């Protein structure tokens, strides 16, 4: 009880300075008190107070830093990415991937369950809760036995009496956020699922509130292409860069959608509908008069989306039921399938070239089941983007396919929670 009261008191003292120190330690790695003082200009008592606050809530830990000159080791302080976990839940159409990630975004445990958006909210959420509860319980149980990440913290603890007696939660057992991806758009103001052709039964379900209530931690809901864009923006950053500032992630699956990173942040638009590139109008193509799932005529998705390709092949009497079947036929060289996929590539390239002219990204990453067709799809995309986007916009443009989508989804979800959480004083206070 005493520990709880002490923490509550400490919560109120956490301020922007504490948050700034956390941000520096996350970006720079371990620092000594002197280094923190020199970098911030803070007086020693202020440095000490802010270090003590972060150590007491368990998000920073003391450690021994070897002296570069071989002299007496110094005491440093480091962000402890293993002090808590983020539950990442990536709800795709037919499967859901769950992971526990540490606070650097690294997945610690990953599970996939065979339910997804098309199973409806009751069945899917029920199995997600059961699976997540099991993962959290397993993580708690295994935590006492192993501490793979803590290379020297055992020694440090003995060197620094009181470091582990600070009231911090045990490592890796503490859930600090839930981050959920859905295969549709999310209304920015409410967190509700909107415009959801594949998640019709989920419309107006507020996953943010549901998960937040159940797990008593902040929850974040994002579009699945947005989180993959975020993952790639961080992973493709060059030396000295925090992230790629302008990147477009295109999901070419049953539908077509995009995640946009613009000036280093996910672009949601005013209501959350940004990136819905499947409904960009394409003209003059065979089949361009086919009605789209949105009710309009001439959308790129109605000719180049997975559902449209599947429908065309079924109309032609091909034995295809899933996009994996389409990819299989394309790889076998089935003429009609190859033609449809190549045409889809060119049409998607047309839509992307519009985005390139508008947004000037430095990377375009193409994922989704159709990207498994490889160059059959990618060559058409490149052809049209190079032909139709303006030279200044393509000078330093890279176009690549994504070969690790499931992993990118999970890591992007963790980054989304970290970006919104660990940079927020409100989150830090809740964490404490």
- What residue ranges bind Zn ion (CB under 5 A)? 279, 292, 294, 296, 299
Q: What is the distance in angstroms between the CA of the first residue and the CA of the last residue of the chain? A: 15
- Tell me whether residue 130 or residue 296 sits nearer to Zn ion (CB atom): 296
Q: How, if at all, do strands 60-65 and 74-79 pair?
A: antiparallel
- Output the CA–CA distances (angstroms, integers) from residue 85 to 82, 168, 170, 190, 334, in the order listed: 7, 14, 11, 25, 46
Nearest-approach distance from CB 395 to Zn ion, in angstroms: 32
- Tell me whether residue 248 or residue 292 sits nearer to Zn ion (CB atom): 292
Nearest-approach distance from CB 195 to Zn ion, in angstroms: 10
Q: Give residues with Cβ within 8 angstroms of 136, minimum separation 6.
A: 85, 87, 100, 173, 175
Strand partners, 179: 88, 220
Nearest-approach distance from CB 297 to Zn ion, in angstroms: 9
Q: How far apart are CA 343 and CA 345, in angstroms?
A: 5
- Tell me whether residue 256 or residue 417 sits nearer to Zn ion (CB atom): 256
- 257 contacts 276 by C-beta, under 8 angstroms: yes
Nearest-approach distance from CB 303 to Zn ion, in angstroms: 11
- 62 contacts 77 by C-beta, under 8 angstroms: yes
Residue 192 backbone phi and psi in degrees, to 5: -75, 150
Q: How far apart are CA 399 and CA 195, in angstroms?
A: 28
Nearest-approach distance from CB 203 to Zn ion, in angstroms: 17
- Tell me whether residue 51 or residue 299 sits nearer to Zn ion (CB atom): 299
- Tell me whether residue 280 or residue 397 sits nearer to Zn ion (CB atom): 280
- Tell me whether residue 296 or residue 314 sits nearer to Zn ion (CB atom): 296
Q: How big is the chain by its Cα radius of gyration, in Å?
A: 24
* Beta carbons within 10 angstroms of residue 46's beta carbon: 15
Nearest-approach distance from CB 345 to Zn ion, in angstroms: 19
């Amino acid at each position: 009880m005493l520990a709880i009261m002490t923490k509550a008191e400490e919560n109120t003292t956490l301020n922007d300075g504490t948050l700034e120190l956390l941000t520096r330690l996350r970006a720079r790695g371990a620092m000594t008190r002197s280094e923190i003082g020199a970098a911030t200009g803070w007086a020693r008592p202020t440095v000490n107070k802010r270090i003590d606050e972060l150590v007491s809530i368990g998000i920073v830990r003391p450690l021994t830093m070897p002296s570069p000159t071989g002299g007496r080791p110094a005491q440093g302080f480091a962000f402890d990415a293993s002090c808590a976990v983020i539950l990442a839940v990536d709800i795709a159409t037919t499967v859901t991937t769950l992971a526990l990630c540490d606070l650097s975004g690294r997945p610690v445990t990953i599970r996939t369950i065979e339910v997804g958006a098309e199973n409806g909210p009751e069945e899917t959420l029920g199995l997600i809760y059961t699976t997540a509860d099991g993962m959290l319980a397993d993580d708690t149980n295994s935590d006492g036995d192993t501490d793979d990440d803590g290379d020297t913290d055992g020694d440090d603890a003995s060197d620094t009496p009181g470091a582990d007696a600070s009231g911090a939660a045990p490592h890796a057992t503490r859930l600090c956020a839930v981050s959920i991806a859905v295969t549709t758009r999310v209304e920015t103001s409410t967190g509700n699922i909107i415009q959801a052709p594949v998640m019709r039964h989920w419309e107006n379900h507020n996953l943010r509130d549901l998960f937040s209530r159940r797990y008593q931690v902040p929850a974040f809901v994002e579009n699945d292409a947005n989180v993959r864009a975020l993952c790639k923006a961080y992973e493709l950053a060059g030396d000295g860069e925090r992230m790629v500032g302008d990147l477009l992630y295109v999901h070419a699956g049953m539908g077509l959608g995009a995640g946009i990173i613009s000036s280093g942040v996910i672009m949601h638009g005013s209501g959350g509908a940004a990136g819905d590139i499947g409904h960009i109008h394409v003209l003059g193509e065979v089949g361009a008069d086919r009605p789209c799932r949105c009710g309009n005529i001439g959308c790129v998705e109605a000719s180049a989306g997975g559902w449209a390709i599947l429908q065309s092949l079924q109309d032609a009497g091909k034995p295809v039921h899933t996009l994996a079947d389409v990819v299989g036929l394309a790889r076998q060289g089935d003429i009609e399938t190859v033609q449809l996929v190549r045409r889809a590539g060119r049409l998607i390239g047309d839509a992307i070239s519009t985005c390139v002219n508008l947004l000037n990204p430095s990377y375009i990453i193409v994922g989704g089941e159709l990207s498994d067709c490889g160059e059959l799809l990618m060559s058409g995309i490149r052809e049209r983007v190079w032909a139709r986007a303006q030279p200044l916009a393509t000078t330093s443009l890279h176009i690549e396919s994504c070969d690790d989508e499931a992993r990118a989804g999970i890591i992007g979800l963790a980054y989304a929670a970290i970006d919104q959480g660990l940079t927020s004083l409100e989150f830090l206070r809740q964490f404490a």
